[in-house]
Amino acid sequence: MMETAKATAKDTIAALSALTPEQQDQLSQTIDKAYKQ
């Protein structure tokens, strides 16, 4: 289970670093909206 969590976190970080600044911006705005609800 820990291995899966590590891989998932690593994959997530890799995916996020592959985003363009515009995509990162859009994603953070979407997350902000989700938290504000």
Domain span at 4: 1-35
Specify whether the CB–CB gap between 20 and 27 falls below 8 A: no
Q: What is the pLDDT of residue 22?
A: 94
- Looking at the structure of the chain, the number of domains it has is 1
In degrees and rounded to multiples of 5, residue 22 shows phi and psi of -65, -40
> Which residues in 1-37 belong to E strands, given as ranges?
none
Please tell me the distance from the alpha carbon of residue 9 to that of residue 11, in angstroms, as a whole number. Answer: 5
Q: Within its chain, how far is the Cα of 28 from the centroid?
A: 9
Which stretches in the chain have pLDDT values below 70?
Answer: 1-3, 5
- pTM for this structure? 0.52
